[in-house]
């Protein structure tokens, strides 16, 4: 079944690439967006080879001018129509103890993990209000529901994203536009591979020990798969409920409705 077009940020690798593959297989036209255009082109090519519809899109979510350009490009590529759905997945996570995190650390996390998603939603909202339909899924994190040591900037930015998701969902009410969040615990992705390298470097643990440490942090003792996040995103895009927070902990999916039923 052919569906509308969806803009997926941070789609060049990891969770975003899994989301792009899942959505293309479900019939969405996918804008594969990230800073690294070459990888976006490769993935778009792969999706088209598998019978899907996809377009690579250069996008730095930390730069307002890049957002404006990407949204305009997506509209042009979509034959004049704005993407009907947005998956705000691009994100960064840098670890540092409180004594080493600077203003710049906090600003980088807020720009990429919060202001970028917010600005993209704001850029697409007028078209959705006009058409009476829009879908947003924000890929937040369990770090938007609880605290973790050494990633205060990451946690603060993800709490901001969850709070914004819920406020926008509440404000838009039943205008046909849904805004939801997924909050995975540790996911087996390139971002985790980098956290593992970091832990190995700072503690002298082996790679296997570092990996087991992160898996052990998840309530079920298992890493979340990229595919599980992608499946959850697809389900949220297809539903009509707004203000949902879906927590994926590696073994269980917990549905939260912080705004009330």
Ligand X SMILES: NC(=O)c1ccc[n+]([C@@H]2O[C@H](COP(=O)([O-])OP(=O)(O)OC[C@H]3O[C@@H](n4cnc5c(N)ncnc54)[C@H](OP(=O)(O)O)[C@@H]3O)[C@@H](O)[C@H]2O)c1
Mind telling me the catalytic residues? 154
Q: Which of 4, 10, 29, 78 binds ligand X (CB under 6 A)?
A: 10
Of residues 24, 186, 232, 244, which one binds ligand X by CB under 6 A? Answer: 186
Binding-site member from 5, 141, 180, 242 for ligand X (CB under 6 A)? 141
Q: Is 89 in the site for ligand X (CB under 6 A)?
A: yes
Task: Report the distance separating Cα 195 and Cα 223, nearest Å.
Answer: 13
Sole window of 46-54, 85-93, 203-211, 252-260 interacting with ligand X (rule: CB under 6 A): 85-93
Asked if residue 36 binds ligand X (CB under 6 A), the reply is: yes
Burial class (CB within 10 angstroms; exposed 0-12, middle 13-18, buried 19+) of 61: buried
What is the rounded CA–CA span in Å between residue 164 and residue 120? 13
How many angstroms separate the CA atoms of 43 and 20, rounded? 9
Contact flag: residue 20 with ligand X (CB under 6 A):
no
Name every residue whose Cβ is closer than 8 Å to that of residue 169 and which is 6 or more positions away in sequence. 178, 179, 180, 242, 243, 259
Is 56 a binding residue for ligand X by CB under 6 A? The answer is no
Footprint (CB under 6 A) of ligand X, residues 193-252: none
- Note whether 93 and 108 are within 8 A (CB): no
Closest by Cα among 34, 90, 204, 176 to 43? 34
Minimum CB–partner distance for residue 111 and ligand X (Å): 8
Q: 25 exposed, middle or buried (CB, 10 Å; 0-12, 13-18, 19+)? A: middle
| Residue choice 95, 189, 218, 242 for contact with ligand X (CB under 6 A) | 189
Buried b (16+ CB within 10 A) or exposed e, 233-253: bbebbeeeebbbbbbbbbeee
Number of residues that bind ligand X (CB under 6 A): 29
136 binds ligand X (CB under 6 A): no
- Nearest Cα neighbor of 56 from 117, 25, 12, 88 is 12
Q: Hey, which residues does 187 pair with through a beta bridge? A: 224
Of 12-20, 68-76, 198-206, 232-240, which segment contacts ligand X by CB under 6 A? 12-20
First and final C-alpha spacing in the chain: 31
Among 7, 86, 172, 192, binds ligand X (CB under 6 A): 192
> Should residue 59 be labelled a site residue for ligand X when binding is judged by CB under 6 A?
yes
Is residue 70 a contact point for ligand X (CB under 6 A)? no
Residue 92 near ligand X by CB under 6 A? yes
Question: Does 16 contact ligand X by CB under 6 A?
Answer: yes
162 lies in the site for ligand X, by CB under 6 A: no
Residue nearest to ligand X (CB): 91
Site residues (vs ligand X, CB under 6 A): 9-10, 12-16, 34-36, 59-62, 89-93, 112, 139, 141, 184, 186-187, 189-192
């Amino acid at each position: 079944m052919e569906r509308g077009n969806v803009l997926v940020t941070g789609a060049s690798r990891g969770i975003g690439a899994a989301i792009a593959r899942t959505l293309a297989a479900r019939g969405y036209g996918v804008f594969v967006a990230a800073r690294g255009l070459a990888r976006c082109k490769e993935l778009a090519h792969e999706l088209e080879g598998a019978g899907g519809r996809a377009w690579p899109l250069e996008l730095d979510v930390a730069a307002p001018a890049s957002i404006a350009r990407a949204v305009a490009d997506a509209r042009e590529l979509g034959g004049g129509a704005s993407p009907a759905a947005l998956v705000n997945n691009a994100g960064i996570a840098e670890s540092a103890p409180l004594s080493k995190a600077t203003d710049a650390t906090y600003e980088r996390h807020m720009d990429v993990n919060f202001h970028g998603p917010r600005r993209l939603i704001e850029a697409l909202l007028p078209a959705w209000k006009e058409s009476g339909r829009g879908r947003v899924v924000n890929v937040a994190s369990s770090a938007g529901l609880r605290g973790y040591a050494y990633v205060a900037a990451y946690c603060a930015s993800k709490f901001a994203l969850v709070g914004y998701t819920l406020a926008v969902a509440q404000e838009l009410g039943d205008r046909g536009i849904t805004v939801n969040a997924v909050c995975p615990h540790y996911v087996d992705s390139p971002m985790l591979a980098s956290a593992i390298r970091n832990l190995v470097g700072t503690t002298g643990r082996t790679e296997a020990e570092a990996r087991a440490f992160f898996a052990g942090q998840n309530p079920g003792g298992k890493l979340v798969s990229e595919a599980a996040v992608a499946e959850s995103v697809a389900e949220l895009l297809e539903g009509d409920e707004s203000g949902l927070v879906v927590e994926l902990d590696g073994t269980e999916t917990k549905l939260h409705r912080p705004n009330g039923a």
